[in-house]
Amino acid sequence: MARILGGIGASHAPSMEHVYDAGEDVRRNEEWEPLFGPFQQVSEWLAELRPDRLLVIYNDHMDEFFLNAYPTFALGVAEEYPIADEGFGARPFPPLPGDAALGWHIARALVADEFDPTICQELEVDHGVISPLPMVDFAEGNGQWRIPVVPLAVNVILHPLPTPRRCYKLGQALRRAILSYPEDLGVVVVGTGGLSHQLTGPRFGRVTPEWDREFMRLLAEDPEALCAYKHEDLIKLGGTESVEVVNWLAMRGALPREARPIVEAYYPHKIMGYGLQAFAAAT
């Protein structure tokens, strides 16, 4: 039977891609060490843990899905996931390896649990997946991704959005989906996005570190408390685009209640509250 080995909450942002692509010297300079140092710790932890799969809960930014038909939850069931061209040419990474069999199992398990995702045999992933992923997985030397992924996209763009509580319950259903998979696989669940940021209107660039830190504390210690927040609350506390944090809540729902962070970092910088939180969860 498959097992859940842990979880990772991580911001995603084009800025993280620019820094990563600029090379090791820039990643570990004074400006970026506060974020990329902890990413390195997570990378080392994962290398030791050796998960067989990553289940990545993220949101697309109109790079795969568009307003003609916007899915609330969309699940990848493909053998590989090409990198999307977000309007500047695709980043030069090979496609992410997938696991179609696991994807289809999760699709059936979610439907059995009364979650009904859009099922995607083709899916291009954008910075919602690949801005944090190279820091934890990409084997830079040989240019190959190490760990196959199953991506799950959550609508955080076109209101009405699935509620925070619904996303937490989705995580719980994903947990049952993984635990019921017959193959002996170790899975790490990743949730990406946030934390505070505001990209539109007169509050452009506003970051709210106090709330971000409180969010991370609650996520670790009392995730059910976050289920009571409405999107309206999250927008007021962290900005319009900060509602992406529901992806972290879904990740947390897949972990045991008593899981605690083993790596934790928060770095408010320029227009983003960058967060990183890794949980060990031996089940």
Which positions are annotated as active-site residues? Answer: 127, 197
Tally of CB atoms within 10 A around 76: 31
Kindly tell me which residue out of 25, 67, 141, 184 binds other proteins, with binding defined by CB under 8 A.
67
Site string for other proteins, 35-64 (x = CB under 8 A): --------------------------xxx-
How far apart, in whole angstroms, are the C-alpha atoms of residue 272 and residue 179? 35
Nearer to other proteins, 85 or 183 (CB): 85
Nearer to other proteins, 142 or 200 (CB): 200
Instruction: Check: CB of residue 236 under 8 Å from CB of residue 186.
Output: no
Stretch binding other proteins (CB under 8 A), from 185-193, 208-216, 225-233, 251-259: 225-233
Q: Percent helix, strand and coil across the chain, each rounded to 5?
A: 35, 20, 40
Kindly tell me which residue out of 131, 192, 198, 247 binds other proteins, with binding defined by CB under 8 A.
198
> Is 200 one of the binding residues for other proteins (CB under 8 A)?
yes
Nearer to other proteins, 84 or 106 (CB): 84
Stretch binding other proteins (CB under 8 A), from 41-49, 104-112, 197-205, 247-255: 197-205
Instruction: Check: CB of residue 6 under 8 Å from CB of residue 278.
Output: yes
Kindly tell me which residue out of 108, 203, 217, 257 binds other proteins, with binding defined by CB under 8 A.
203
**Single-letter amino acid code for the residue at 3:** R
Kindly tell me which residue out of 119, 157, 227, 262 binds other proteins, with binding defined by CB under 8 A.
157
Nearer to other proteins, 87 or 141 (CB): 87
How far apart, in whole angstroms, are the C-alpha atoms of residue 66 and residue 50? 35
Site string for other proteins, 79-118 (x = CB under 8 A): -----xxxxxx-----------------------------
- ∠ at Cα 222 (264, 137), nearest 5°? 35
> Is 204 one of the binding residues for other proteins (CB under 8 A)?
yes
Where does residue 28 rank: exposed (0-12), middle (13-18), buried (19+ CB within 10 A)?
middle
CA 148 to chain centre: 15
Nearer to other proteins, 139 or 158 (CB): 158
Total number of residues binding other proteins (CB under 8 A)? 34
How far apart, in whole angstroms, are the C-alpha atoms of residue 278 and residue 46? 10
Nearer to other proteins, 126 or 137 (CB): 126
What is the full DSSP assignment across 205-228?
Answer: T---HHHHHHHHHHHHH-HHHHHT
Instruction: Check: CB of residue 23 under 8 Å from CB of residue 159.
Output: no
Question: Residues interacting with other proteins, by CB under 8 A?
Answer: 14, 61-63, 66-67, 84-89, 157-160, 163, 198-205, 230-232, 235-236, 239-241, 271
